[in-house]
Chain A
Amino acid sequence: MFLLDETPNTVAYMLAGYAVLLGFPILYVLSWVVRRSGLKHELELLKIIQAEKDAARKPASKS
């Protein structure tokens, strides 16, 4: 293809290439956001479990 006299029009390939080169890091950063939100959710659950445990212990210690 490149043995032509004129410069070929390869803009679409360049755009596709940079869509990958810029899109992949963005997707990777988004995966962190998803993982971090999962961690926040787990932390909230742990807090609820801990609060329930503390509430269950209090009446037992009073009696």
Chain B
Amino acid sequence: MSQTSRRLMIFNVITGVLVAAALGLVFLYAPRERQMGEVQRIFYFHVPVAWVSFLAFFVTLCTSIAFLVKGEIKWDKVSAASVEVGLVFTIMAIISGSIWARPAWNTWWTWDPRLTTYTILALIYVAYLMLRQGVEDPGRRARFASVYGIVGFISVPLTFFSIRWWRTIHPVVIGAGTATSIGGFDMTPPMVVTLMFSLFAITVLYFCFLANRLQLQREMDHVEQLKAQAMAD
């Protein structure tokens, strides 16, 4: 096993322990919320997962800029990997939110500003991956994807502030919610501790996924290189 693989393995184990500890806090330490009951425990992973999806797309913004400035292809590879991982977190947040909404709002889905903007955000980044598939030349693909990654990021602050700018039923976790929000609650100290720890664990999980996805990308590049050599012979 190479040095990089060993480091990655250690990182994977640490991440697994952190996520397991977060689950322990969610189910054994955090108290049951009186009004919503057990379903409120979804909140401890739903919120971090949504936050981390924003972080993933922010990383894509930074690496897209880095590619356009420096022209190094490695930044484009990080952008693509971050979008893929970010989309996994986005889908998790949408579906877990929908499951929470059924008992909280009495509906699986509503065209609320937060839900709508977040769905648009997901579609924007699905289109990012489709764009990459549609361009053959690696240089052109990286340039197009970088510009798209920068422009597409506009959807992130729009989604984040949607619950503060417009009338919405989605609760605000940090700061005062709107009068129309349904399902919000006052957090007790154990709830805050659980949320913060879960946020930390899920952030580490994102970086772990990103590192593993980049490792896979290196292996894919190696095979592509060998294929090109075989064709040239």
Contact = CB atoms under 8 A, between A and B. Distances in A.
Interface in B181-232: 183, 205, 209, 212-213, 216, 219-220, 223, 226-227, 230
B104 A2 contact: yes
Contact of B223 (A1, A9, A25, A46): A46
Contacts, number: 95
B32 interface: yes
B219 A7 contact: no
Interface on chain A toward B: helix, strand, loop, or mixed SS?
A: helix
Measured as residues with beta carbon below 8 angstroms from the partner, the interface class of chain B is 35 or more
B180 interface: no
B100 interface: yes
Given A2-B36, A14-B38, A24-B91, A32 B104 contact: no
Contacts of B49: 21
Given A1-B104, A28-B209, A50 B39 contact: no
A2 B96 contact: no
A24 to B, nearest CB: 5
B88 interface: yes
A16 B233 CA distance: 54
Interface on chain B toward A: helix, strand, loop, or mixed SS?
A: helix
B170 interface: no
A38 B15 CA distance: 26
Q: Which 7 A-B pairs have the closest CB atoms?
A: A10-B39, A17-B42, A14-B38, A10-B37, A13-B39, A2-B35, A17-B99
Given A13-B103, A20-B99, 14 more contacts: A2-B36, A7-B32, A7-B36, A13-B39, A14-B38, A17-B41, A18-B42, A21-B42, A21-B45, A28-B88, A39-B219, A42-B227, A43-B223, A50-B233
Interface of A: 1-2, 7-11, 13-14, 16-18, 20-21, 24-25, 28-29, 32, 35-36, 39, 42-43, 46, 49-50, 53
